[in-house]
Amino acid sequence: MERNLMKGNEALAEAAIRAGCKCFFGYPITPQTELAAYMAKRMHKAGGVFLQAESEIAAINMVLGAASTGVRAMTSSSSPGVSLKSEGVSYIAGSDLPAVIINVQRGGPGLGGIQPSQADYWQATKALGHGDFQLIVYAPASVQEMVDFVVKAFDSADKYRMPVMILADGLLGQMMEPVSFPEINPDAYDKSSWAANGHGFKREHHIINSLYLKPDELEKSVVDRYKKYDIIKETETDAELYLTEDCDILLCAFGATARVVKSAVNDARAQGIKAGLFRPKTLWPFPVKEINEAAKNAKVLLSVEMSMGQMVDDIKLAINCSKPVEFYGRTGGVIPTPVEVLEQIKKIGGTL
């Protein structure tokens, strides 16, 4: 298979085009702008639409419009820009539209910084907009996974008619790695029963809408959506378990941080400490079965994040608080080093 050296942001874009993404609407923001720039160069040749919107808000609503007509549509941004998109994401969820949203995270809150961060975990998994809804959230940890998860994201979005997020970070977006592109046949999901692309006098008119003025009707629409979420929780979780079979200390990390943690786990093993790594690839749904499998022999868990510990609660809930969950993190754009993580492992390991 052909392998190309590509920057994470560009790999996201190329994968989207290959996955049949027909339009990209975006707005410049560091550290994800290369994605838009790549789209600007490539999209029209691929027969699609690239448009730089006047704002993040407009961009996500352009996605809503395109997705309403049954077209694969995507937008991308970084943390502050994703906050602006949250209104549109809520409408997309409430209208049962498929769409892919990429967040190449940077430090926050506010304007924050432009260095990598994972401090939008809560936003992505709990509260990306008003109302009762969820997104499927994929967390790639390599440029190759950027490619693979984008393809998956478009399929999941179409399959479940819902917004799907790729939660990357500035480190993954900016780094270069060899990637190969799988043969992609954009699944032909039949959207003819709902797409608003002109009825051609052949069917009833279609309405794309998230307004239900009668409470019982709104409740029903939300409850139906949650039935769909139950299926997703059952079938779509994904995680990597690394050296977890016999581990005493189970480290938990996602995205770029998991790469650092993997090094620290290897270093710990070299020193005779039984460490393992649980890396969720889906942050929502959280891989509950997988973490329980990984933690079955562990005495303590250690979540390592580029935030103040936003994943810790999900871990505690997933294991039913059956074991202590420690936390080590750096935030504001600071990337934890393997040395720092190893120190934490030793500190906790010493008490075992």
Partner 1 sequence: MAVVFERPKSLIDVPTHYCPGCTHGIVHRILAEVIDEMGIEGDTIGVCPVGCSVMAYDYFNCDMIEAAHGRAPAVATGVKRTNPDKFVFTYQGDGDLAAIGTAETVHVAARGENIVVIFINNTIYGMTGGQMAPTTLPGQVTQTTPFGRDPRLAGYPVRVSEMVATLSGTALAQRVAVDSIPHIRDAKKAIRKAFENQKAGKGLSLVEVLSTCPTNWGLTPVEAIKRLQDEMIPYYPLGVYKDVDEGVFPKEGGEE
Question: Footprint of partner 1 on this chain (CB under 8 A)?
Answer: 22-23, 25, 49, 51, 53-55, 57-59, 61-69, 71, 73, 87-88, 91, 95, 196-202, 205-211
Q: Is the CB of 26 or the CB of 170 nearer to partner 1?
A: 26
Residue 213 vs 270, nearer CB to partner 1:
213
- Give which of 305, 242, 238 is closest to 274, Cα–Cα: 242
Between 68 and 123, CB nearer to partner 1: 68
How near is the Cβ of 22 to partner 1 at its closest, in Å? 6
Q: Which is nearer to partner 1, 92 or 311 (CB)?
A: 92
> Alpha helices, DSSP H only, in 69-142?
79-94, 121-126
User: CB 298 → partner 1: shortest distance, Å?
Assistant: 45
Of 244, 262, 243, give the one whose Cα is nearest residue 254: 262
Complex with partner 1: residue 8 or 88, whichever CB lies closer: 88
Residue 296 to residues 43, 97, 248, 322: CA-CA distances in angstroms?
Answer: 47, 39, 9, 10
Residue owning tokens 């710990």:
268
Min dist CB 173 to partner 1, Å, is: 24
- Residue (70 or 336) nearer to partner 1, CB: 70
Q: How far is the CB of 80 from partner 1 (least distance, A)?
A: 17
In the complex with partner 1, the residue whose CB is nearer, 76 or 118, is 76
> Closest approach of Cβ 117 to partner 1, in Å?
27
Q: Are 330 and 278 in contact (CB under 8 A)?
A: no
Nearest alpha carbon to residue 329 among 101, 87, 139, 116 = 116
HEC secondary structure over 237-296: CCEEEECCCCCCEEEECCHHHHHHHHHHHHHHHHCCCCEEEEEECEEECCCHHHHHHHCC
> Contacts for 203-208 with beta carbons within 8 Å, 24 or more apart?
208/68, 208/95, 208/97
CB 151 to partner 1: min, Å: 20
Q: Structure tokens of 256? A: 């770029």
What is the identity of the amino acid at 256? Answer: A
Min separation Cβ 84 and partner 1, Å: 12
Q: Which amino acid is at 41?
A: K
